Every structure is written in structure tokens, then in C-alpha cells.
Amino acid sequence: MLELSYIRRSPKEVVDRLAVKNFDAKSIVDEILAMDEKRRSTQTSLDAILAQLNKASKEIGELYKSGKRAEADELKANTGKWKLDISVLEEEMRTTETELQSKAVLLPNTPHSSVPKGKTPEDNEVVHTEGAIPELGENALPHWELAKKYDLIDFETGVKITGAGFPIYKGKGARLQRALINFFLDKAYEAGYMEIEPPILVNEDSGFGTGQLPDKEGQMYFVTEDKLYLIPTAEVPITNIYRDMVLDAATLPVKNCGYTPCFRREAGSYGKDVRGLNRLHQFDKVEIVQIRLPEESYKTLEEMRDYVAGLLRSLHLPFRILKLCGGDMSFASALTYDMEVFSGAQKRWLEVSSVSNFETFQSNRMKLRFKKDKDKPALAHTLNGSALALPRIVASMLENNQDDKGIRIPDVLVPYTKFEYIS
């Protein structure tokens, strides 16, 4: 959620910036300004009457104490009318605030000034490409064929016990998953992130805090009995740890990482996008999260991007980094880098990570603040990134590293898998 003070101070800038996200904010911003105006004038009137009532109450108390009943009763006679006015103004206050809030949450985060204009993924800016595109022979198999051939992943049985998009990893397939998770967590630890094992069900407040609710309600699995959501990413619980907190600036930065399964309903997806491991309802991911002082968040974003690039490099996967255009960015993000690996047999780029700076968009929703010395508490900046999401890493690894006899495991993973080759 954008800060109201920002909208009030620079309404035109908000509208102009949101245009980069192809979002026409003009009418909403105007409504917000009008309601904000109304809210303040209502509060001024309300506070005045409340002050009057408080003063009278105090006097009544004192009059009673000194036995002046008649005078007290006289004062009391006025309060009825005031209380009527109060209830009217309070109601007005409530509805205005509710409307203001409901409008404010409709506005996406304003993109950073460097975000390229654009509507579709085609308009994303490729900022870096690295690694050789593998030359696979005619016989190269897509990963879902390889997974079947070497008995690594069983999609059909997953359908039987749950449904499409819930694969079963078996044998070396399962061990490869575990190896990747441990590898990613160890690397994050080396980079100074503290490991968190969070709940994978979260409440509504948490969903709101990081921006999944109310915007992406339909994306999450919901447990109606307990009103809990299955997390679509570890970002939700790990960031919400700090909801409603004022952190001492000295404790920043917060650098957390965590592995969790992630659950996404992905309603409406179809075709080649959902083939094999390309898009799943449940998948494994290691996430990195940082909470930073505002002045350092963009430097941090670059660091996180480079950190993820280093992971891909160490796995010898050809990858590219995209700076997302306004139209392809998420609702909550101010600047996002996507990392894509090349999947040799499918001959396409697959997104494996998304690294974003949310500035104060999430912290404003969460009331996540920091306090520096005697300064007033201020909203912190939050950032996060996948480091990494497993399925598409596995997909490209299987495809790119295949030969006639099997699949080679990257060196860095061998200490984790305890095998070098799948055959």
C-alpha cells in the first residue's frame, strides 16, 4: 500500500509513475485525496466535541464530589446532544476511513524510475546473459521424458493421490530435490542469511501484509475450517514475522532465508506452460528476504540479484537476467529482476527466480518500521527473491546435462546427492 502522505504530497507523480505499470490511477487518486480531506475535517470536528465532553465530564465529577448536584445535572443535560453528534461523526469517520482504505489498497506500488515502459513480457529488458546455450542432439528429450526414463518423477501417480501439478519425486529424483534444497540453504547461510523454518499455513493478516490479499485471493489454497491460507511462497511467513514491529535500526539489516514447499492454484493455466515441471501446484523453493534502511535498499537489490546469479553460475546453467517492464511487474514491487534459465530440450527460457524491492509497500501494510536513535519510527524497506525455485532448475538441469546414457550432476551438488550421474 502506498503511503498516504506520499499520495497527498505528490499526487501527480503517483499517477505518472503508475502509468508505467499501465495503471490509470487518476480517478482513484482523486477519490483518495477527497476522502482524505473529508477524513481530516471530520476528525477536527469530532475531536472538538470529544474535548468538550471530556471537559464537562471532569467538571461533573468535581461538582458531584463537592455536593453540587443541581449544577452537575444541569451540565449533564447538554451531553445528550453532544453524544448524538459524536455518534454521527464517528460513523462518518468510520465509513470514510474504510472507503479510504479500500481505495488505497487498489493502487499498485509505484515503479522505480528505471523501470522500462511496456505491456508484455516481450518488453522486459535483458540486462545480462551468461553461459552457453547447450547444443543438444536430435534425440534430446524434454525433462518429463527424462524423468520417466530414469524413474525420477512420477506425474501420473501424483494425479492419482492428489491431482495434476502434484508430482512425486522418487529415488534419485527425490534425493536431487533434497540436495538442491540443502545446497541453496548452505549458500544462503554463507552469504549471511539466517535460516528460518516457518509455518506453511498463514492467516489473513499475513496474506494482507505481503500483498497477496486481497489482490490474489484466488491464487492461494484456503483452508476454510480454520481460515488459513497455504503459502504461495516463504516470503509471506518470513516477512510477516516482522509485522507490527518497530525494529531498532541497529538490528538492521535483517537477512533471512528459508525453505518451504509453495502452493499455487494456478487457475487458468494450460498447454506447454504446465507440461512436466514447468508449472506446478506444489513446488519447493528457498527464499531470501531482507529488511533494510530505505537508503540502502537498491544497493541491496543489486546484491541479491548478483547472489542469485552466482547460484545459477555455480550450477553451470545458462541464464539471463531481465529487468521487468512496468506491465509485467507484480502489484507490490517497485523494481523486479527475473532470472531465467535456458531449458535445452524445450528450447525456451524458464523463470526460476524473481528478486524484488518493495520499498515501503509491504511495510506500510504490515506496519513494519525501524527507529533510529531519537527519530520517529519510519517504514523499513522489504526485499525478497527466490534462491531458488526448484522445479525449473531441475527441468533445465535434466535437459541440458543429458547424454545418451544418462544425466550428469553438477559438481557442486555431488557432495549433496552423493552420486554424480543418473542413468
Residues that bind RNA (CB under 7 A): 5, 40, 43-44, 46-48, 50-51, 53-58, 60-61, 64, 76, 79-80, 83, 246, 369, 371, 376-377
Please state the closest distance from residue 224 (CB atom) to RNA, in A: 14
Please state the closest distance from residue 50 (CB atom) to RNA, in A: 4
How far, in Å, CA of 340 to CA of 147, rounded? Answer: 21
Phi, psi (rounded to 5 degrees) for 176: -65, -40
Please state the closest distance from residue 70 (CB atom) to RNA, in A: 14
Name the amino acid, one letter, at 348: R
- H helices of 252-371, where? 297-314, 361-366
Give residues with Cβ within 8 angstroms of 174, minimum separation 6: none
What does the angle CA 226 – CA 229 – CA 230 come to, to the nearest 5 degrees?
120
Q: Is the CB of 272 or the CB of 372 nearer to RNA?
A: 372
How far, in Å, CA of 247 to CA of 157, rounded? Answer: 47
Instruction: Read off the DSSP letter of residue 48.
Output: H
Q: Is the CB of 38 or the CB of 148 nearer to RNA?
A: 38
How far, in Å, CA of 323 to CA of 339, rounded? Answer: 9
Q: Is the CB of 79 or the CB of 182 nearer to RNA?
A: 79
How far, in Å, CA of 220 to CA of 215, rounded? Answer: 11
Instruction: Read off the DSSP letter of residue 220.
Output: S
Beta bridge partners of 354: 338
Please state the closest distance from residue 44 (CB atom) to RNA, in A: 4
Q: Is the CB of 122 or the CB of 226 nearer to RNA?
A: 226
Q: Is the CB of 44 or the CB of 157 nearer to RNA?
A: 44
Residue 100 falls in which region: left (phi positive, over 0), alpha (psi -120 to 50) or beta: alpha
Please state the closest distance from residue 85 (CB atom) to RNA, in A: 12
Q: What cell was used for 132?
A: 552457453
Please state the closest distance from residue 63 (CB atom) to RNA, in A: 9
Phi, psi (rounded to 5 degrees) for 20: -65, -30
Beta bridge partners of 338: 322, 354
Q: What cell was used for 180?
A: 538442491
Please state the closest distance from residue 9 (CB atom) to RNA, in A: 12
**Residue 366: closest CA among 245, 256, 248:** 245
Q: Is the CB of 371 or the CB of 408 nearer to RNA?
A: 371
Q: Is the CB of 51 or the CB of 194 nearer to RNA?
A: 51
**Residue 6: closest CA among 107, 117, 115:** 107
What is the SS3 assignment for 249? helix
Q: Is the CB of 6 or the CB of 419 nearer to RNA?
A: 6
Please state the closest distance from residue 40 (CB atom) to RNA, in A: 4
Please state the closest distance from residue 160 (CB atom) to RNA, in A: 24
Q: Is the CB of 47 or the CB of 130 nearer to RNA?
A: 47
Q: By the 8 A CB rule, do 319 and 341 touch?
A: yes
